[in-house]
Structure 1
Amino acid sequence: MPVLLLLLAAGVFAYFLWRSRHSGLTRDCRWRQDKSHGIWRCSFCGAEITALDQPLRCLKARDA
């Protein structure tokens, strides 16, 4: 049983480590989809992008 708990803890840690490295979103990124215009807009910085899926990168640096 303790081995399973250690494996579970290691798996959760590995998942969070993987997600932090594969997502360039900052804490301030809050993407909202505007379906009438077909764009995604960040409610924090105002960046806009045309995409089908929610963006995975912060575009604040690109707009600046």
Structure 2
Amino acid sequence: MLLLIPLLALAVFLFLWLSRRGSSLTRQCLWREHRAEDLWRCAACGAICHPEKGAPRHCLRPR
């Protein structure tokens, strides 16, 4: 039992770190799907994306 808690904490941290690596989205990215136009539009900056499937995973705001 004593070893289980640190292993569980490590597993949770590793999962969160690996899931974050696949995305560069920030809190300012607010993607909204417009199905009639078949596109995604960011409510924060107005960027437009036409992904093949699913929501965009990267912020398109200019640096």
Report TM bin, short chain: 0.7 to 0.9
User: TM-score normalised to the size of structure 1?
Assistant: 0.84
Comparing both structures, which one devotes a greater share of its residues to helix? 1
Alignment RMSD (CA, Å): 1.4
Counterpart residue type for residue 54 of structure 1: A
Q: Match of 1:3? A: 3
Q: Give deviations 1:6-64, integer Å, cap 9, x for gaps.
A: 11100111112212322111110011100111001111001011122101000002xx6
Identity %: 39
1:1-64 aligned at under 5 Å gives the runs 1-51=1-51, 52-61=53-62
Q: Can you give the 5+ residue segments of structure 1 that lack an aligned partner in the other structure?
A: none
Q: Which amino acid aligns with 1:44?
A: A
Name structure 2 gaps, 5 residues minimum.
none
* Count of residue pairs the alignment pairs up: 62
| Partner Cα distance (1:37, 1:2) in 2 | 55
Letter matched to residue 54 of structure 2:
D
